[in-house]
A and B are shown apart, each in its own frame.
Chain A
Amino acid sequence: MNEAQLLQSILASLPEIWVVTAACILLIGGLFVPKGRGDVLVLASVAVVLIAAAMTLMLAGEVRPAYSGMFLADRFAVFIKVVCYLGTALTILMSRRYAEIEGIERCEYYVLLLFALTGMMIMASATDLLMVYVGLELMSLCTYVLTGFMRTERRSNEAALKYVILGAVATGVFLYGVSLVYGLTGTTQLDAFAASAGEGGADTGLALAVIFIVAGLVFKIGAVPFHMWVPDVYEGAPTTITAFMSVGPKAAGFAVVLRVFLNPLVAASDVWIIVAVLAVATMALGSFVALVQDNIKRLLAYSSIAHAGFALFGVVAGGADGIASVMLYLLIYAFMNLGIFGAVVMMRNGARSGEAIEDYAGLARSHRVLALLLLLYLFSLAGIPPTAGFFAKFYVLVALVDQGFVILAVIAVLLSAVAAYFYIRIVMVIYMREPSGAFDPALTPGLRVVLAVTALGTLGIGLFPAWFLGLAQQSVFGG
């Protein structure tokens, strides 16, 4: 690599470099922040994310390959990174008061979030399986620690342990697949590996390798059959971290899935059948099991499984529209899911855990605006127009039908009718029950910002989807 290439590479990965550097500085600087001044940490880390976002957008003008083809800063990566910035920034904003209440207000909390963000950014840009691995591990290790951040809480510890063990196995499986690919083709770069595989036709060994890689990735997006960790980890982790995990890592996981699956070779093979089966099973499991949950965090865990299933339908559809539909889905899901998690975080105050669905009974009586916002997020998650959640599903369906998968589209809508039930059940509890006590939501300025941004996104994209759709369509790689 000569000097010009090195400079070019540094420029392409400037946002990543910035976030890592800033996180390190924050780690040291955080030692000098007096206790009880968490607001400084919040502001500093949000600023880091925003500056990174500004850098990413400024560099978005052209496609920048870097580090000898291991890393690619293209528009697709920009789109996914924006979703990750959104998830991280909003998570940080909703954290302050919750962290105080749970006694986990430490500077490492924010630093780990920023490191996890770096991992996700690397995943979004990675065009080499080893690079994917580096990003994946960086992100995973941070989320393992964050899951167990409530050190005195048994649930949190148990969740973290489960997550580490299962996650390590999944990463191992992924790595094994990568080693097979290297052994068979002599490269780990996605393009090169695709090209050499294309010559040989359907190679059994390569198919096996792809299956291992798929298994590792499917674990990260929480799809069947590697979904078992999701409910326990979502329930045990601090709620803010649950919100973060349901958006950022999932988006990054889907980014890799899209890059791996939709390069021309894999798209031409019959892998889509496997993905289609996974999508149906994932959505069915998430939708049906969520029906019987009483804990809202568990319910949202199964709901996120169901949504991952729906987004997988977009992967099945493939093509430019399929990719764009998954990207748009991820963006919209980030808004509505962070919104609902913001509300759950807020309910954690005083004696209320805010985790039982019954805790929300009669909220509409005393907190009209809050109840209305929850109604908006829930109907959006259920996919009822004019919310953004509807448009997300609609576009996936358009992509499916365009490719001739009408039966899959019918299955998808029928399962989302099932899923609608548990969302409207929460609406029912909020609006149609009598309150059992006074509510005292911890409504901090940060949370207000979170709710305003997410509500605006959820309703705004629903009413005026054209611009966002155009953005997703222009950001599709290779098309």
Chain B
Amino acid sequence: MAVPWLSLIVFLPAAGAALLMVLRDDAAVRWVALSVTLADLALCLGLLAGFDGSTHAMQFTETRDWVPALGIRYALGVDGISALFVFLTALLGVVSVLASWAAIATRVKEFMVSLLVMQTLMLGVFAALDLFLFYVFWEAMLIPMYVIIGVWGGEGRVYAAVKFFLYTLAGSLLFLVGVIVLYFQGGRTFDILALMDGDYPFAVQAWLFFAFLVAFAVKVPMVPVHTWLPDAHVEAPTAGSIILAGVLLKMGAYGFLRFSLPMLPDASVHFAPLMLALSALAIVYGGLLALAQDDLKKLVAYSSISHMGFVTLGIFALNIRGLQGGILQMFNHGVTTGALFLFVGLIYERTHSRSIADYGGLMKVAPVYTVFLALFTLASMALPGTNAFVGELLVLSGGFAVSLAAGAAAVLGALLSAAYLLSMYRRVALGPARVAERHEVWDLNARELAAALPLAVFVLWVGLYPKPFLGIIDASVSHLLAQVHGQEGGP
């Protein structure tokens, strides 16, 4: 292929960031950032249009030597799983720029530059086919994210930024040692596809599994290494929360799918019960924590822990429905939680309060806002007809197939999520319009609507007609499952 589509998609935002550096006017900065993310989204749509869902092979591949002496290459490519997340990242990129339009008033240029650099690195993580390249993208994300949280965040931003940084760094560094060990085990190569074909002794697999687990579990996050998440989500600016919840959390799960499962199949099967238990714990514990929150952002943050528990549960069910559900749920969670953070951010811009107790009766003063909020709230609790229903149903059916207890915990989590989300919605949107007495609250404007609409479209589209989305990932999931169970002769 002559045109390096993936390189274009990955580095377009970085080029945009370089362009922003020379601009002086804040308005121009915003418009350029928006155009860059829109162009990137358009490229991604083109990518999906040209994507062949019938094969698990990597598509749009590009390979160039980078550090030949160590077998490091610049290699990009997407299969069904990563294509979905490249698209999700590009979509949320546009939403993030729109969400920061008015919310970020100081040092706009630096913010947009950080956002666009972040965008490049996230896309790179999903597109990388070389383990070293993957690690560079993965780890480099710490820099812009640290700055985004620390400079434009809320009151406790510095603490949250440092905590986020150190947690993720400590996790990733063990992963790095694991990567290097894998490099030597796999015959001095960082080629992800070649490493997948390797057959490693179980002892090595077990150690590597835990080295990888630390890095991925921090990112997902799984209980008990989740404590950075509430701080980071609450203190980050809206766009930061959207990126964190929408994309960064997915990377942990993506790591399991791309590395742990196919490269360390024996260890994955062996430790699956442990992973199921941790997932079940996250689902219930996250749900209970969310139930007790008065802060809107904290509530959504803790609900993320619970929902990401569904994802890991589905993945480590290690059967077709569990994996499909887990991956679809990753996408869904990105859309709905991204939307919920967006909506919390929008109302915060108006009232400067995140305490649920301060709200009530929003429906009377901001009807359009509450309609959308209702949609995303219901989607988050997996009401039939919304996207999360499809995902959670698949996860549950996959989960019950392997463990009754895990399935039961997931059902309990689903009940809990109905409890805290409905109660949140009731106290914020219904009742007498108390909030309007103290603050001037206006309804969504055109820009905010533009940010919310695409997300709403995907909520309903996946909810009502998930086939195209499952079609993208199908072949890759089957192949992944064959890789996991290959040595054992089928599930």
Contact = CB atoms under 8 A, between A and B. Distances in A.
Interface in B158-192: 158, 161-162, 165-166, 169-170, 173-174, 176-177, 180-181, 183-184
Contact of B176 (A364, A386, A394): A394
Contacts of A466: 65-69
A409 B207 CA distance: 14
B169 to A, nearest CB: 5
13 contacts: A385-B135, A385-B136, A397-B180, A401-B183, A413-B176, A413-B177, A414-B173, A417-B173, A420-B165, A424-B146, A424-B165, A431-B150, A466-B66
Nearest to B65: A466
A432 B143 contact: no
Interface string A428-462: 10011000000000000000000000000000000
A428 B158 contact: yes
A264 interface: no
Contacts of A424: 146, 162, 165
Interface in A2-53: none
A56 B18 CA distance: 38
B139 interface: yes
B177 A401 contact: yes
A361 B343 CA distance: 34
Given A401-B181, A466-B68, A466-B69, A432 B157 contact: yes
B151 interface: yes
Contact of B180 (A390, A401, A427): A401
Nearest to B211: A410
A224 to B, nearest CB: 22
Contact of A384 (B140, B170, B183): B140
B406 to A, nearest CB: 32
A469 B70 contact: yes
A431 B151 contact: yes
A175 interface: no
B10 interface: no
Interface of B: 65-70, 110, 135-136, 139-140, 142-143, 146-147, 150-151, 157-158, 161-162, 165-166, 169-170, 173-174, 176-177, 180-181, 183-184
A183 interface: no
Contacts of A416: 173
A154 interface: no
A398 interface: yes
Given A420-B169, A421-B162, A431-B147, A413 B142 contact: no
A470 interface: yes
Given A417-B170, A469-B69, A379 B176 contact: no
Given A401-B184, A428-B150, A469-B70, A409 B177 contact: yes
Given A431-B150, A432-B157, A409 B169 contact: no
A416 B166 CA distance: 11
Interface residues of A, number: 34
B69 A470 contact: yes
A470 to B, nearest CB: 6
A466 B70 CA distance: 9
Interface string A373-417: 001000100001110001000110110011000100110011011
B212 to A, nearest CB: 14
A406 B174 CA distance: 11
A65 interface: no
Given A431-B150, A431-B151, 7 more contacts: A390-B139, A394-B180, A416-B173, A417-B169, A421-B162, A421-B166, A466-B67
A364 B162 CA distance: 18
B142 A384 contact: yes
A394 B65 CA distance: 18
Contact of A413 (B143, B166, B173, B184): B173
Contacts of A69: none
A379 B183 CA distance: 25
A470 B176 CA distance: 22
A428 B162 contact: yes
A428 B161 contact: yes
A198 interface: no
Contacts of A375: 143, 147
A352 interface: no
A398 B142 contact: no
A368 interface: yes
Interface in A245-270: none
A317 to B, nearest CB: 12
A473 interface: yes
A368 B110 contact: yes
A246 to B, nearest CB: 24
A420 B161 CA distance: 13
Contacts of B176: 394, 397, 413
Nearest to A417: B170
A127 B67 CA distance: 32
Contacts of A414: 170, 173-174
Contacts of B136: 385-386, 390
Contacts of B66: 466
